[in-house]
Structure 1
Amino acid sequence: MSASPQRTFAEFFAGIGLMRLGLERAGWKIAYANDICPGKFEMYRANFEDADDHFVVEDIHDVLAADVPTVLLATASFPCNDLSLAGARAGLKGSQSSAFYGFARILREMRCRRPRFILVENVSGLLSSNDGKDFREVMLTLNKLGYSVDPFIIDASHFVPQSRQRLFIVGELRSDSALKAEDRAEAAEFYQSEIRPRALAEFVFNNPDIDWRLRELPKLPQSLRRLISILEDLPHNRSEWWNEKRTAYLLNQMSQRHRILVDKMIDAAGWSFGTVFRRVRAGRSMAELRVDGIAGCLRTPRGGSGRQILVKAGFGEFHARLLTPKECARLMGANDFTISGSLNQALFGFGDAVCVPVIHWIAQHYLEARIQESRELYADGDKRAYG
């Protein structure tokens, strides 16, 4: 789809640019990108030839609002380190996730140039961080900036063979279509749906002072793709496959239940595949196996625990290796991404990114729908909204 000049966006916490890929597939045009990490910028530049024209490598707290162009949409995939269930959960006051306030400051300082839409992405753990206080703080901060808010949760497994549940928040500058007090439900179940599970529905119900704008969205697709569809066919003599000593150590880290599953895979007269994450359970490093055809959530390889391991078994054999960068790209729906840098750098870039087809779906079924619904309202020349 060709890009409409009206559908421009600024991408904060841009990383390697997968938010951009998803939006461009829906006809949007990049106007500005920012991230603090030089390594991610190098990956971005290897894939996007125009990177030097609009990408600013800088701490978001130092970005000047005056340097951000007027756009229709601003996106923010701010760091999840302090919000994730896998982390220490320092919350919005943590050194990483507090970067959200840098994004909010830029919006505030843009004043009448604020984008009509914002799209915020983070882990679903944001909903429960600090007993819900952090999520409420994010919602109220966006309200104070003039945005009605609509949160929903999407698992990337609806599009790709990866379990990756993420919380999205669409904010839109207030209009008469925001949820009014007289329209509020009498029970939390009214808000519950496929994309707003019970915990999120209850939060909406229990926080009526927040300016919500909840939109009914179409049913998510059901992907039939499985792990095997994204794998590279690497011969067993390639260096990526682990040696016998290393694979034996991995097997010894498995629980009895998972070892029984592996033994059945080994004894089978055909190849089967699974993924493994190492996790600390009761002070012991354990190798936890998944064999349902869906990869676990890609994570950044901090400390090694985020490295997802592929296992292949059958015909009396057992093999193991890390997922390759190309396989990680495919799990994120970025099949044609030009990959550069070291293995760790690639794993870090994709593990910290958004799933491309999920963003494409949101752009199509939410953003585009809202633009079309209000096209006549803005046709008279609201330059703030259309840039």
Structure 2
Amino acid sequence: MKYLKSMALAAGMIAFGAIAAQAEGVDEINPDVAKRLYNPEMLDPSQPVGPSPLRDFKAKNPPPWKIGYASSYAGNTWRANAMDPLQNEIIPKWKELGLISEVIVTQSNLNDSTQIQQMRQLVDQGVDAIFVCCSNPTALNQTVQYAYDKGVPVFSMTGYLTAPTAVNSSVNYQVAGFEIGKRMAEELGGEGNVLVVEGIPGTSGSDSQDRGVKAGLATAPGIKIVGSIAGMWTDQVAQGEVQKWLATHPGKLDGIVVQSAAEMGVLRALKQSGREGVKVAVGGELGALCTWRKNPDLISAAVQTWPPADDINLIWRIMMRTLQGQGPKVQSVLVDPVVITYDDLKDIVPEDCDENAQNWYNVGQEKWGSTEYLNQFFVNPADPTQYKR
């Protein structure tokens, strides 16, 4: 298992230039991190990476703080696997530390207007901070400003908001997508027909990763993208959409690049169609990893782009640091994707694993924004669990 710590992986796509023209906050972080994750050539062009206006933020109240989680969707395994550690690990831990009083959770079911209303209600109910997940990058901007004006910072995990006062955290999805697409092209020897299964179009994480995937596939001129469909980050949706596509496209198909959480649906659709020998990009669903465990030729490596427990733990620690006055330097805290090989897989899932497992593999805090790693992104860095009122 390894981080993608060398941008040589993107050879042929970019040549590094100076990063001095980047924002002040980026100039203050580790140059190697800035070079591989904040290089303009490997960033979503809309990714906010300027100096954070929360650099001098002070919480309006002392702890224990009341937190709002304005979730945009609850209909897939990823969301369930993010909610579980929030409710059963994070909230009990931080209550015991005396730093939070409660977390109020709302669900908007992909309705921007509903999410906006819910966020405003959270502010009016007296929360001290709000975090969101995987939301429309622009629709919430006025609401983020409304919250900020009332002393309530907003944090976005697994994707970004373009509001200048929001703080975002995620993997660099364009880098991750590029790695996935390039690996698929290499799996196929530089030639073949590939179907691309996106996530939820219009969300920043999906669009950024899709852009990277298609750039990675384009590194091999013999690769042809024969279709692009939306799996909606949901296995049932992806299964139905891929089944329909396969039924109307009987020609040769060599590979499918799919965004989690949808790879189990893709694998089921392939099985039901009788198609064999198709390479499939695998993410973090343990059911899909189990299928790979039992079918070594499915793919050579899996790129982890959004392990749910790690993602929610990452944004939580960033949020706590900000409430404690540590001062985020930059609008977006980005981390490296993590690659697991088939040899790694043997230590992750047993041979008698369940191909229908609904839970996810998480790489762990040390590989997804460790305390030392996060320190570089804050003006006054400290372990947030050691905060004394």
When the two structures are superposed, what TM-score results if normalisation uses the length of structure 2? 0.31
**Bigger radius of gyration:** 1
When the two structures are superposed, what TM-score results if normalisation uses the length of structure 1? 0.31
Which structure exhibits the higher relative contact order, with contacts defined as CA atoms closer than 8 Å and separated by 6 or more residues?
A: 2
